[in-house]
Structure 1
Amino acid sequence: MAEPPVNAAERLATLTSWRADWSGLRVAVLGLAATGFSVADTLAELGADVLVVSEKAEEEYARLVPVIGARLHLGPLDPVPAELAAFDPELVIASPGFPPSHAVIRWARESGVALWGDIELAWRVRDKVVRPDGTPAAWVLVTGTNGKTTTTRLAATMMKEGGLRAAPCGNIGVPILDAVRDPAGFDVLVVELSSHQLWYLGLSAIEGQPVPHASVCLNLADDHLQWHGSFEAYRDAKAVVYRNTRVACVYNKADEATRRMVEEADVVEGARAIGFDLGVPGPSDLGVVDGIVVDRAFLDDRRTSALELTTVAELAERDLSAPHVVANILAAAALARSLGVEPVAIRDALRAFRLDPHRIEIVARAGGVTWVDDSKATNPHATASSLAAFPGAIWIVGGQLKGVDIGDLVAARGPASKAAIVIGTERSDVVAAFRRHAPAVPLFEVDHTETEDVMTRAVELAAQVARDGDVVLLAPAAASFDQFRGYDDRGERFAQAVRARIERGTRDEHDDASSGTD
C-alpha cells in the first residue's frame, strides 16, 4: 500500500484526476470574476478548503461564494492580507489579471507555495466527463497577439460541422473549467489562451502540463508589456502553447517568431509543424493558390496535389476576405484538419460563419462613405491588419497604449491615411507620432473627456473629411478602459454615433425638401 503524501508538493503531484483526493486541500483563489469563480466553484465541488481573495467583486459572485461553501476576503491586496497569510495555503490559483509583479504573486513565489492558473487545474480534472471510449476531450490550444477569438470560433465551428462535439472556451469568455464540468461532455475543447494564462502554465509541474492534440500561435507583436515586463517575457509566455503538442504545431509562415517557437518547442515525438500564410503552400502547409484556399498538409499525396477548402471570392461574399481574416481561416482549418474534419465540412462551416461584433464590422454605408468598427484592434499589430484591409481610410485611433510605442505603426501606415482623428487619454503620444512620421496627414484631436461625447465628436470630425468612396475606420491600436467600459462599449458607441448622424442627415434632407416651393 502506497504511503500517503507527507507534504504539500507530494500531495499536489497526486492530484491529476477529478477522482483524486482533493478534500481539505487549502487553496487560495485570487480574483473573483468569471474565471476566479469557476476555479472556486470547481474546488468547492472537489471538497477543497477554499479562500477567495479579491480587491473587488460583482455582487452576484460575492453572494454565491458562501453558497458554494467557500470563504471570501474583499479588500486591498498590497500588502498581503493577514487573513491570507493566516490561511497558510498549500496552493494558490490566480486569475489571469494578476501580473508577476503583484504583491500576492510575489508573496506566493517567495513563500514556496505552489502557484497555478485555471488552465492547469482544468487539465488535472479534465476527466470529470469522458467520451464514450472513456477518454477525456482532446484539447486544441490557440494563442497569438491578434486573431485568437476569431480563430477559436472558426476552428470550433468547423469541427462541429465535421461531426465533432467541440466547445470554444478559455479566454474567449467561457471559463475552461465550466466546459470541463459540462455534463453533456465534448470531443474537443478549443481553448483560447492569453499570454497571462500561458505565463502561469509555464510554471506548471510536469503533471499539470497539458498535452494538446494541436496548437497554434497566430502571430507575435508588442502587447501587454506592462504585465509581462518585457517583450522577451511576453514571447516566452506565448511559446508555451506548443509544449507537449502531440499531432500538429500550426505556425504562421509570415511571422518568423512563430516558426522559431515551434523549432524550439519540446513536443511529443511525431508531432508535425504545419505552416500557413497567404502564399502558395509547401507540402506541409495551408495557403492560397490563384484565389483558392487549399490544404497541402493533411492528405497522402501532398507533394503533388492539394485539397480545395474554399475560395477568396466566396469569403468576400461574407465579408471574410480581409487578409488577416483569411490567415485566421487557414489556421483554424489546419487545426480542424488535424482532427480529420473533411474539406466539405470546412467549406460549409465558412458559409454560415460571421465575425463577432467590433471586428472589421461594417456598421453603415451612407452618402458613399463606409463606416467600419474594428474596436477589437486594441494593439498596433491588429490595427496594422485593419489598415491593410482599408488603405487610405480616415483613421480613428487612440486610447490606453499599455506601454507599447505606437510610433512604428504610424510610420508604416499613417502616411497613407486620408486623416487621423485621435481619441483617448494618451493622445499626446499618438499626436507626436503623427507629427514625426506623417506630418502631411490632417490631424484632429478629440479632447472631450465625457464618454457620451467622445464618439459623437470623432464621428463629426470624420464626416467633415469623408467624401464619396472613403472609409472611416475605428481601429484604435489601444485599450479602451480610459474612456469606455471595454472595446465592445467603444465600438457600440461608435456605431450609435454613426447611425445618429446618418439619421440627422436624412432628416435634414427631408426637411429641406419639404420647405421647397413649386
Structure 2
Amino acid sequence: MGSQEVSTVDWQGKHVTVAGLGVSGIPAARALHERGAIVTVVNDGDDARARAQAAELEALGITVRLGDGATLPPSTQLVVTAPGWQPDKPLFLAAAEAGVDIWGDVELAWRLRGTGGRKAAPWLAVTGTNGKTTTVRMLASILEAAGLRTAAVGNIGVSLLDAVLGEQEYDVLAVELSSYQLHWAPSLRAHSAAVLNLAPDHLDWHGSMEAYAADKGRIYEGNTVACVYNAADPATEHLVREADVEEGCRAIGFTLAAPGPSQLGVVDGILVDRAFVANRHKQAQELAEVSDVDPPAPHNIANALAAAALARAFGVEPAAVRDGLRAFRPDAHRIEHVADIGEVAYVDDSKATNTHATEASLAAYDSIVWIAGGLAKGATFDELVTGAAKRLRGVVLMGADRALIREALARHAPEVPVVDLDRTDTGAMSEAVEHAARLARPGDTVLLAPACASMDMFTNYNKRGEAFADAVRAHAGKSA
C-alpha cells in the first residue's frame, strides 16, 4: 500500500479485542465502537482507576475484562494493543496461533486516517534511541514557520488517533514513534522518516539488539521521498539499505562535519543543505546558524539537522528552517541551563536516563562536575566513563545503582574525585549539589546527567530535574 493510499476496513460487526486501558487503549476502543465494531477490552490491572475507566466504556456498550489480559476472547478477529505490552504475552501468542492480526495504536491511526471525509495528511516520522521528542518538536516548529497546519503527535503531544479523527485538518504531521509502536505497525508508510541513532535500550522488551534495530528500521518501509540517517551512526545507514522503499526515495545523511552530496551538515558555524538543492555535487544551501539552535550542544545540532532534512524533504524553504529553529524552545530537563553561580554553570539534563543520552550530554561541555546515578536498568558504564574521563573535574554519585558507576570510574578515571552519597531519600539532591559546588571551579559545568532511571528516588525524571533546580536555587541563595 503506497503512502498516500487510504485503507478501508468494514468495521461493522467485526470482533476486536483492545489490549490495555489507558492513553491509547481507551481512544482506540471508543473509535472502533463508534464504527460498529464489537469491542472487548482486556486489562491486566483491576484497581480503582481501571474500574472507573471500565465503567465509562461499559456505559457505551463496550465489554471490559479486568484482571485478565492473558486470554484471547472467543470470536476475536483483530487485536489492537497498547504499545507497552510485550510481544511474548500469552494473548499475542494465542492470537498468532489463531491467525489473528495484531495492530498497535499507530497502525490503527494509520488505517483510520482519511476516513469520514477527512484529509489524509502525510506523516514525517522520527525514531531513535535518544532525541526523538526534541527532533519532532523542532520539525513541527519548522513546519509551522512555513505556514503549514501541523502538530507534534505520536509518542508525544496530541494522540495520533485524535489527530487523524479530530475536526482539525492538518497539511502534514510530525510523528514521534517508539520501537514499541513500530513493532505493531506493519502497514505504516511515511512520506519521509529519520532514525536518529541506535544504542541498546528496551532489550528486555525486544529480546535482542537485532530485534530492537529491526523494529526501529520499520519506520523506513515504503518511504516515498527521503530516508534520513545519521552519518556518524553506521547502524542507521544500514537500516536504510535494508528498507524496501518507493522508487525514487533517497537516502539523506546528516553530519556535524562538512556535508557531502545528499547530506546536511555544518560548515563554519552554518547548517547547510547539500541534499535538496539543484546541483548537490557543487552547491550548498545555507539553512541556519548553529547559534539558532537552543541549546547548541552537538547532539542537539544533530537533532536540528535531522528535523531540517525532513522539512526540506517536504519542500520547506530555507528561511522557514531558520525561523522554526529560532522559535523552538526545548522541553524542561533536557540540557536546561538552571543558573550561573560564581562562574559555574548548573545544567539539568535529568532526561538523560541512559548511557547513550548521557554520553551526548557530557560531550557538550569541556570541564564537568557530574551528578549521576539511579536505576541502571542493566546498563554498564565503562565505555561512558572512558569517553568522558578527560572532561571530569569530579563526580557526585547517588541512587540505588551508583556502585556500578563508581566501579567504572575506579577502573577508567581513578584520578577523578568521587563523592558517594549513601542515601536514597529525595533530600539527597540538595547534598549532591552542595558537594558538586565544592568540587567545581570557575568555568566548570555542574551537570545532572544521571545515565539512569529515576524511580528509585523520584516519581519520574521531571521530579528529579525539579529537585536539582530547587537545590541549585537554594545554593544560590546561600552564596549570595
After TM superposition, the structure 1 = structure 2 runs for residues 193-212 of structure 1, keeping only pairs within 5 Å, are 193-201=177-185, 204=186, 209-212=187-190
Taking every aligned residue pair, what percent have the same amino acid on both sides? 50
Q: How does 1:213-252 map to 2 (within 5 A)?
A: 213-252=191-230
| 1:142-184 deviation line (CA, Å, top 9, x unaligned) | 0011110111011111111112111111112432111111211
Alpha-carbon distance, 1:86 to partner:
4.2
DSSP 3-state at the match of 1:395: strand
Q: Aligned residue for 1:181?
A: 165
1:253-297 alpha-carbon deviations (Å, 9 max, x no partner) = 111111111111100011011111111112211111111111111
Alpha-carbon shift at residue 91 of structure 1 (Å): 1.5
| Distance in 1 (alpha carbons) for counterparts of 2:342 and 2:54 | 50
Tell me the CA shift for residue 62 of structure 1.
Answer: 4.3
- Whether 2:78 is the aligned partner of 1:95: answer no
Does residue 125 (structure 1) correspond to residue 117 (structure 2)? The answer is no
2:473 corresponds, among 494, 499, 506, to 499
- Paired position in structure 2 for 1:142: 126
* Corresponding position of 1:386: 361
* Counterpart residue number, 1:413: 388
For the residues of structure 2 that align with 1:18 and 1:421, how far apart are their CA atoms?
A: 54
Q: Distance in 1 between matches of 2:141 and 2:29?
A: 30
One-letter identity of the residue aligned with 2:245: V
Aligned equivalents of 2:183 and 2:196: distance in 1? 17
Instruction: Tell me whether 1:152 sits opposite 2:136 in the alignment.
Output: yes
Is residue 226–residue 403 contact of structure 1 (8 Å, CA) maintained in 2?
no
Maintained 8 Å contact 1:245/1:268: yes
Aligned to 1:287: 265
Q: 1:212 to 1:314 in 2, by over 3 A?
A: closer
Partner of 1:30: 19
TM-score by length of 1: 0.87
Alignment partner, residue 296 of structure 2: 321
* Deviation for aligned residue 1:390: 1.5
Confirm or deny: 8 A CA contact 1:225 1:402 kept in the other structure.
Answer: no
- Runs of 5+ unmatched residues, structure 2: none
Quickly say closer, same or farther: Cα 1:408–1:470, change in 2 above 3 A.
same
Give the structure 1 partner of residue 352 of structure 2: 377
2:422 corresponds to which of 438, 442, 447? 447
Aligned to 1:105: 92
What's 1:270 paired with? 248
User: Per the alignment, in what secondary structure is the counterpart of residue 137 of structure 1?
Assistant: coil
Shift of 1:392: 2.3
Deviation at 1:336, TM superposition (A): 0.5
Judged with a 3 Å threshold, the aligned counterparts in structure 2 of structure 1 residues 334 and 130 are, in CA distance, closer, same or farther, namely: farther
SS at match of 1:245: coil
Aligned position for 1:65: 57
Distance of aligned partners of 1:259 and 1:359 in 2 relative to their CA distance in 1, 3 Å threshold: same
Q: Are 1:25 and 1:90, in contact at CA under 8 Å, matched by a contact in 2?
A: yes
Deviations 1:403-460 (A, max 9, x none): 232221122214531112222222222222222222222222233232x323223222
Tell me what 1:354 maps to: 329
Specify the alignment match of 2:174 in structure 1: 190
1: CA distance between counterparts of 2:368 and 2:114? 50
Question: Does the Cα contact within 8 Å between 1:394 and 1:462 map onto a contact in 2?
Answer: yes
Q: What amino acid is aligned across from residue 22 of structure 1 in structure 2?
A: W
- Asked if structure 1 preserves the Cα contact closer than 8 Å seen for 2:365 and 2:391, the reply is no
Matched, 1:430 2:405: yes
Specify whether residues 322 and 42 from structure 1 end up closer, same or farther in structure 2 by C-alpha distance, changes over 3 A only: same
* Distance (Å, rounded) in 2 between the aligned partners of 1:428 and 1:112: 48
1:169 equivalent to 2:153? Answer yes
Q: Which moved more, 1:235-244 or 1:165-174?
A: 165-174
Does the 8 Å contact 2:254/2:264 carry over to 1?
Answer: yes
- The partner residue of 1:459 within 433, 446, 458 is 433
Equivalent in the alignment of 1:7: none
Q: Which residue of 2 aligns with 1:39?
A: 28
Structure 2 length normalisation: TM-score? Answer: 0.93
Report deviation, 1:389.
Answer: 0.3
**In the alignment, is the contact (CA less than 8 A) between 2:17 and 2:40 conserved in 1?**
yes
- 1:75 is aligned to 2:50: no
Q: Note closer, same or farther for the CA distance 1:86–1:309 as it changes in structure 2 (3 Å cut).
A: closer
Q: Give how far 1:27 is off.
A: 1.7
- Give the helix-richer structure, 1 or 2: 1
CA-CA distance at 1:65 after TM superposition: 2.4
Would you say the 8 A contact 1:130–1:185 is kept in 2?
no
Q: 1:260 aligns with which of 232, 235, 238?
A: 238
SS at 2:429 equivalent: helix
- How far apart, CA to CA, are the structure 2 residues paired with 1:212 and 1:239? 12
Give the drift of 1:88. Answer: 4.1
Cα distance between partner residues in 1 of 2:176 and 2:356: 18
With over 3 angstroms needed to count, the CA separation of the structure-2 counterparts of 1:67 and 1:154, relative to structure 1, is: farther
Point out the more displaced range, 426-435 or 267-276.
426-435
Alpha-carbon distance in structure 2 between the residues aligned to 1:313 and 1:272: 29
Q: Which amino acid in 1 is paired with 2:230?
A: N
Conserved? CA contact 2:225–2:249, under 8 Å: yes
Contact 1:402-1:478 at 8 Å conserved across structures: yes
Judge conservation of contact 1:211–1:244 (CA < 8 Å) in 2. yes
String of CA shifts for 1:73-102, please: whole Å, max 9, x gaps: 33264xx2xxx4444422111111112233
The one-letter code of the counterpart of 1:298 is: F
Instruction: Give 1:114 shift.
Output: 1.6
- SS for the counterpart of 1:34 is coil
- In the alignment, structure 1 segments of 5+ residues that lack a partner are 1-15, 507-518
Larger Rg: 1
Contact kept? 2:141, 2:327, Cα under 8 Å: no
Count of equivalent residues? 473
Contact 1:169 1:176 in 2 (8 A): yes
Deviates more, 1:408-417 or 1:469-478: 408-417
1:305 aligned to 2:283?
yes
**How many Å separate the matches in 2 of 1:273 and 1:307?**
18
SS in 2 for 1:273: strand
- 29, 37, 61: which one aligns with 1:48: 37
